[in-house]
């Protein structure tokens, strides 16, 4: 037998073994066709089988996320069932008084199916399993972990990934206070999942009866989130749910808080797993907000509000006459700084009470350094964390946290994860306060630049088809560290691979340049990308002069990093 024939036989045997335990008729049919073609000598089908079975979709601090399809390297009912059984084993081993879990799901393909499988299998393992009553935003699930006082939470969502993806986020209760998992819990759960996959067939996993949560869980979230802000002078706003699950809950929160409802982008307001009006359901992507801008122009909106499909992220756009669309989407750093400044001002006002805590402002290491200046100016503590809200939410004394990827936590006493709904309420309240003073969001951004310097940022995302390319690029930067970026000398490089300044180990390089600029390079945790973050600032001259100087430096850094990575 030739090596190639042996390899074909091996992967076909693995695929057939997978077929024998797959409960999903769709992925069964998909796999049978591939196996038949591969056995007939179809090289493309054989390569597809290897893509699906040579590796296993890794469970980590982002849980699971990937393309829906048959195989161990795809999201499907076999993989989810194994994950549920492994998580159940972990929770039962960690819990002395009985384990419990609450499970939520969004409107993506198979989300409800994956959530129901999880509930049944965890119940069959002896874990008290509670399924949320219907498809709901991720922040409601994060809230429910604490509200129901359970051991863990599972949210079935792929957030802002392409339409063909789905995923599986895991939260822990008790001392973790409803934050997403971090090491070493992720490794321990992954080990339990591997044991299940190696020793049990999915049809053999016992299934049990689960509970369905009452609507009062959602009502409790609505009441708590409505406390985030109060209406000022009404502003005309446009809202899009990006074909996700955000609108119903957002509407209820805004009504409870007394805000006028925004004008909706009707073509994107209802959940639709196909995301038919956007190429990529991420408010950061070019073109994603085109329909929102069209609606905003029609009603002369002062604000555009967008949630991603599971509503844990928030995008904001404001009028901009210089833009072809008439509107400009603010960066995550701009929104994060404005909400952080608002949080600092509120904390300063609260200090008139003797019992008021000092509090901490926190952001991830790839977010703008400007938040640290806000914290210093108001006598607040500042925490810099690794990327991801699993870290931001764990900052001690947290009163506000954000990350530049459109994630904001304005009410950590309620939710320990980014929450695009509460952040929308806070931003609407800010816009109303500014309108009441005869001002605007654009003018507030200028005031921020006057007070703290003009900070500007940009990002380079290199999407790859071969994940090993990311490792090679990171290795190249480590083996031959750049002496300059775009002609600006590098003062020092922090390699976070072995931990740095109290931060856990992470595959991140941080370049400090002589002019005070900063460049961060890291692999994406959820997508096949190498991400580069550029930050620079200027505090010399007028706001216009500061902006021009910072943007000129940013252009130099962008070109320099593209050359280095070419």
Q: What backbone phi and psi angles, to 5 degrees, belong to 67?
A: -70, 140
The runs of H, that is alpha helices, within 300-369 are 332-350
Q: What backbone phi and psi angles, to 5 degrees, belong to 252?
A: -65, -40
The runs of H, that is alpha helices, within 125-274 are 138-147, 185-199, 216-225, 246-257
Mapped onto helix, strand or coil, the DSSP state of residue 385 is strand
Residue with tokens 């409870």: 256
- Residue 107 is classified by DSSP as S
CB contact set of 413 (below 8 Å; sequence gap of 6+): none
Mapped onto helix, strand or coil, the DSSP state of residue 303 is strand
353 in catalytic set: no
Distance CA 310, CA 63 (A): 16
Distance CA 331, CA 339 (A): 12
Element (H, E) at 11: helix 3-19
Distance CA 554, CA 556 (A): 5
Residue with tokens 């951004």: 445
Element (H, E) at 460: strand 454-463
Distance CA 87, CA 252 (A): 33
Contact criterion met (CB below 8 Å) for 534 and 554:
yes
- Give bridge partners of residue 367 from the DSSP assignment: none
CB contact set of 204 (below 8 Å; sequence gap of 6+): none
Distance CA 415, CA 395 (A): 13
Provide the terminal-to-terminal Cα distance of the chain, rounded to the nearest Å.
Answer: 43
Angle between helices 216-225 and 420-436 in degrees, nearest 10: 30
Which string of b and e fits 366-385 if b means at least 16 CB within 10 Å?
A: bbbbbbbbbbeebebbbbbb
- Among 81, 100, 111, 159, the active-site one is 159
Count of other CB atoms within 10 angstroms of residue 113: 17
The gap from C-alpha 420 to its chain's centroid, in whole angstroms, comes to 10
Q: Which residues are catalytic?
A: 159
């Amino acid at each position: 037998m030739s090596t190639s024939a042996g390899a074909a036989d091996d992967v076909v045997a693995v695929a057939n073994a997978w077929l024998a335990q797959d409960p999903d008729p769709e992925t069964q049919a998909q796999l049978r066709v591939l196996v038949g073609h591969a056995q007939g000598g179809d090289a493309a089908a054989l390569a597809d089988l290897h893509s699906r079975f040579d590796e296993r979709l890794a469970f980590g601090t982002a849980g699971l996320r990937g393309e829906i399809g048959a195989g161990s390297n795809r999201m499907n009912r076999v993989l989810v069932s194994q994950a549920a059984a492994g998580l159940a084993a972990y929770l039962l081993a960690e819990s002395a008084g009985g384990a419990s879990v609450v499970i939520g799901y969004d409107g993506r393909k198979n989300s409800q199916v994956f959530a129901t499988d999880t509930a049944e299998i965890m119940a069959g393992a002896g874990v008290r399993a509670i399924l949320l009553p219907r498809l709901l935003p991720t922040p409601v699930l994060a809230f429910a972990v604490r509200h129901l006082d359970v051991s863990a939470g599972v949210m079935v969502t792929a957030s802002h990934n392409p339409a063909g993806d789905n995923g599986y986020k895991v939260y822990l209760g008790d001392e973790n206070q409803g934050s997403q998992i971090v090491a070493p819990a992720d490794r321990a759960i992954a080990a339990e999942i591997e044991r299940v996959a190696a020793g049990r067939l999915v049809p053999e996993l016992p299934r049990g009866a689960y509970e369905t949560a009452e609507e009062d869980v959602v009502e409790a979230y609505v009441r708590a989130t409505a406390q985030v802000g109060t209406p000022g002078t009404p502003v005309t706003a446009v809202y899009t749910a990006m074909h996700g699950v955000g609108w119903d809950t957002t509407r209820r929160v805004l009504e409870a808080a007394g805000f006028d409802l925004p004008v909706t982008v009707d073509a994107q307001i209802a959940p639709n797993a196909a995301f038919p009006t956007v190429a990529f359901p991420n408010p950061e992507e070019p073109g994603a907000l085109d329909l929102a801008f069209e609606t905003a122009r029609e009603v002369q909106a002062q604000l555009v509000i967008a949630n991603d499909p599971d509503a844990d992220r928030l995008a904001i756009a404001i009028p901009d006459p210089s833009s072809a669309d008439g509107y400009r989407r603010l960066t995550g750093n701009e929104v994060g700084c404005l909400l952080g400044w608002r949080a600092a001002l509120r904390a300063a006002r609260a200090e008139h009470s003797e019992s008021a805590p000092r509090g901490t402002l926190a952001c991830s290491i790839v977010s703008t350094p400007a938040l640290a200046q806000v914290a210093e100016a108001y006598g607040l503590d500042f925490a810099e964390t690794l990327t991801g809200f699993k870290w931001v939410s764990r900052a001690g004394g947290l009163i506000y946290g954000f990350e530049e990827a459109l994630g904001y936590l304005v009410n950590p006493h309620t939710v320990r994860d980014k929450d695009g709904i509460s952040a929308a309420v806070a931003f609407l309240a800010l816009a109303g306060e500014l309108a009441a003073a005869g001002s605007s969001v654009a003018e507030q951004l200028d005031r921020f630049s006057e007070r703290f310097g003009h900070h500007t940022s940009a990002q380079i995302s290199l999407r790859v088809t071969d994940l090993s390319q990311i490792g090679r690029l990171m290795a190249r930067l480590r083996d031959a560290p750049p002496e300059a970026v775009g002609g600006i000398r590098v003062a020092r490089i922090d390699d976070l691979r072995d931990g740095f300044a109290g931060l856990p180990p992470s595959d991140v390089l941080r370049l400090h340049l002589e002019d005070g600029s900063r460049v961060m390079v890291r692999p994406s945790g959820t997508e096949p990308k190498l991400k580069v973050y550029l930050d620079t600032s200027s505090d010399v001259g007028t706001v216009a002069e500061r902006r021009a100087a910072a943007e000129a430096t940013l252009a130099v850094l962008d070109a320099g990093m593209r050359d280095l990575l070419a």
